[in-house]
Amino acid sequence: MSYTSPSNSDADWIRFRIGDTDTSNEILSDTEIGDALTEQTDRVLAAAMCAEAIAAEFARKAIDLKMGKLHADRRALADHYWKLAEQLRTESGSYAEPFIGGQTYSAKTTLRENTDLVPPRFERDQFDIEGDKQREPENNNS
């Protein structure tokens, strides 16, 4: 791992968000973070996936040790990363942007001809009956 700063790369941005910035003690490898970036649609979701992977690892190793006054609870680390993953998934959902299609004739034609798109629930003139005379707009220029 060669973490430098969150602006350096998407992997470094994810390391920054999940707190995996100690270059001498990495929690996830660059390959694991790269896999998350490949699998997810954006880096916030990739960070959530990484946090879930860390939480699962800590949960697997979760132990509660008590030796005299010394107490170590590794379950708290797993809980922290589960909560972080949930927070990141919530944050990712808040980035939704509206899509306004059909602003040009060519864009409408391209969308209509794309067979991979889910068909719309309704279309203009979908209830027109063939042979039904529609009222022509009145011409007020007489």
For the cut 80, the answer to whether the pLDDT of residue 53 exceeds it is yes
pLDDT tens, 98-107? 777 668 888 8
What is the pTM (predicted TM-score) of this model? 0.61
Q: Which residues of 51-75 are buried (b: 16+ CB within 10 A; e: fewer)?
A: bbbbbeebeeeeeeeeeeeeeeeee
pLDDT tens, 1-49? 677 777 889 999 999 999 999 989 899 999 999 999 999 988 999 999 9
Query: What pLDDT, on the 0 to 100 scale, is given for residue 137?
Result: 55
Within the chain, how many helices (H) and strands (E) appear?
Answer: 5, 2
Q: So where are the chain's domains?
A: 10-93
Distance of alpha carbon 3 from alpha carbon 19, whole angstroms: 11
**Residue of 41, 18, 51 lying closest to 96 (CA atoms):** 41
Beta strands 64-67 and 70-73 are antiparallel
